[in-house]
Amino acid sequence: MSDHGSDARRRPAGEADSSGDDYSWLFEEGAPAGHAAARRDRDPSTARTTAVPTVGNRRSQAPSPQAGPSQAPSSAAPSPRAADRTQVLPQAGVPAERPDGSGAGRMADGGGSGSGGSAAPAAAPERPGRAKRRVPLLRIVLAVVAAWLVFLIVTPIWAWSGIDRVAAEQSGASSAHGTTFLVVGSDRRSGLTKAERKEFGGGGGGTQRTDTIMLLHVPDSGEPTLVSIPRDSYVPIPGHGSNKINASFSFGGPRLLVKTVEQNTGMHIDGYIEVGFTGFVDVVNAVGGVHMCLKAPMKDADAHVDLEAGCQTLDGAQALGFVRDRHSLANGDLGRVENQRKLLAAIVHKAVSPATLLPWRYYGLLSAGSESVTIGKKTSFSEMVRFARAMRAVSSGNGITTTVPIANANYMTNAGSSVLWDQADAKKFFADLRSR
């Protein structure tokens, strides 16, 4: 009988061939092995597969002709054993997607042979999810590092542009050896509120004085030297006779102070750095306070300070009182200049610590410095960097700290109790300093 006739017998009565394709050859015993591949290759772009349940190694049978006319083909679910195995048939339709995005129209070589050959299992594609997650994470880390580096570089440039400048340095030639900075802590009251004047003891304004005067000499080679000049030093002031050295600041501001220091020490001032009341307080607070150890209690109404003996962390207002106090110290102004050097070293040490690199502290310190520090017009950025490095060395113990040689710490003059230098020793000391 023809294939067509055989097909008709195998389909239940009334069931039309909706696919238009003839698949009867799949159920023929001993069908040629090449037929399956040939059928599937008719239209690879639309080939799909469907699973047909089989019992054992036999296909599902059409209803038996012995069944009564009233018996319809059973639509009951196959028995568990009948559902154990399935046979894969090609089916027309939309091509299935593979994990790699390609269509499933093509099958592995030899996978559709009627002789029982099966397709080789495709290798599982690599999962790109983890790699894709690593790439964005790396990019985020690199972006954060780049932003941080920009922040570290841009913030000092911004702070430098906001620093006030004054005419301070003289027009003379630079020092033959090394670089010398004049560091001044003034009681400049501009910008102080009424509450701050009451807290800091700033008075009502008017005449300005310098409570701190230091020379920082950075030699061409060797350790830097930080020299304290007592503010009550009795010295000649150009155009004003002899007086306490801090009076020169009141008479002629930074320029006359620089000229007075140069005339009495023989040192050429290459850079001028001044910090006022509020600036000093803000800088100390910006670094999170400074740790100091007091051998004895400190109480001075004029300096607005009341501290107990022992080690403690001072905030900005307490630190200001600490460097201004002299009445509670046994050696008066000489003890004060020693405390000033200690506190300055403590501030610098804290400022260069890794904790300062925290964004808020780094920004706060540079912002406070920008708003509170005044420098000379001729003081360059490179000189300020050199100053910072030298102060860091001093604060780490890799420098020399001293006071100008003194002959009498309580010398009575028309300006009151003053500090008299040992002229011979002072001349020799500064000559040695200039040669380095």
> What whole-number distance in Å separates Cα of residue 76 and Cα of residue 82?
12
Q: How many domains does the chain have?
A: 2
CA distances from 299 to 146, 309, 328, 391 (A): 49, 10, 6, 29
Q: For 315-372, where are the E strands, in sequence order?
A: none
Q: Going by C-beta distance under 8 Å and a sequence separation of 6 or more, which residues neighbour residue 393?
A: 223, 224, 399
What tokens appear for 168 in the block? Answer: 């301070």
At 207 the pLDDT is 54
Task: Say if residue 239 is in the same domain as residue 379.
Answer: yes
Task: Say if residue 111 is in the same domain as residue 244.
Answer: no
Q: Are residues 376 and 165 in contact, defined by beta-carbon separation less than 8 angstroms?
A: yes
Torsion of CA 284, 289, 293, 298, to 10 degrees: 60
What is the span of the domain harbouring residue 371? 162-434
Closest by CA to 329, choosing from 320, 317, 338, 316, is 338
Query: Pairing state of beta strands 373-376 and 400-403?
Result: unpaired
Task: Say if residue 364 is in the same domain as residue 261.
Answer: yes
pLDDT digits 0-9 by tens, 176-220 = 688 999 999 887 655 556 666 666 665 444 556 788 999 999 998
Residue 135 domain flag: no
Task: Say if residue 87 is in the same domain as residue 188.
Answer: no
Residue 83 domain flag: yes
Residue 137 domain flag: no
Residue 391 domain flag: yes
At 68 the pLDDT is 45
Look up residue 33 and give its DSSP letter.
H
Residue 149 domain flag: no
Task: Say if residue 321 is in the same domain as residue 420.
Answer: yes
pLDDT digits 0-9 by tens, 138-182 = 888 899 889 988 988 899 889 888 899 998 877 666 666 889 999
Q: Are residues 303 and 324 in contact, defined by beta-carbon separation less than 8 angstroms?
A: yes
Task: Say if residue 112 is in the same domain as residue 179.
Answer: no
Residue 96 domain flag: yes
Task: Say if residue 45 is in the same domain as residue 179.
Answer: no
Residue 153 domain flag: no
Residue 64 domain flag: no
Helices marked H in 87-227 — which ranges? 129-161, 194-200
Task: Say if residue 260 is in the same domain as residue 405.
Answer: yes
Look up residue 183 and give its DSSP letter.
E
Query: Pairing state of beta strands 416-421 and 406-413?
Result: antiparallel
Task: Say if residue 235 is in the same domain as residue 352.
Answer: yes
> H helices then E strands: how many in the chain?
11, 17
CATH code (residue 180): 3.40.630.190
Task: Say if residue 37 is in the same domain as residue 98.
Answer: yes
* Residue 85, beta-bridge partner list: 54
Closest by CA to 303, choosing from 410, 230, 211, 430, is 211
User: How do the pLDDT tens digits run along the chain, 436 residues long?
Assistant: 444 444 444 444 444 454 445 555 555 555 555 554 444 444 544 445 444 454 444 444 444 444 444 444 444 444 544 444 555 555 555 455 555 544 444 444 444 444 444 555 555 555 655 555 566 888 888 998 899 889 888 998 898 888 999 988 776 666 668 899 999 988 765 555 666 666 666 544 455 678 899 999 999 888 999 999 999 999 999 999 999 999 999 999 999 999 999 999 999 999 999 988 778 888 999 889 999 999 899 998 888 899 999 999 999 999 999 998 888 888 888 888 999 998 988 888 888 888 888 888 888 888 888 888 899 998 998 999 899 899 989 988 899 999 999 999 999 999 999 999 999 999 999 999 998 8
What tokens appear for 156 in the block? Answer: 């000092």
> What whole-number distance in Å separates Cα of residue 118 and Cα of residue 172?
99
| pTM metric for this prediction | 0.64
Task: Say if residue 370 is in the same domain as residue 233.
Answer: yes
Last residue of a domain, one of 119, 144, 175: 119
Task: Say if residue 111 is in the same domain as residue 180.
Answer: no
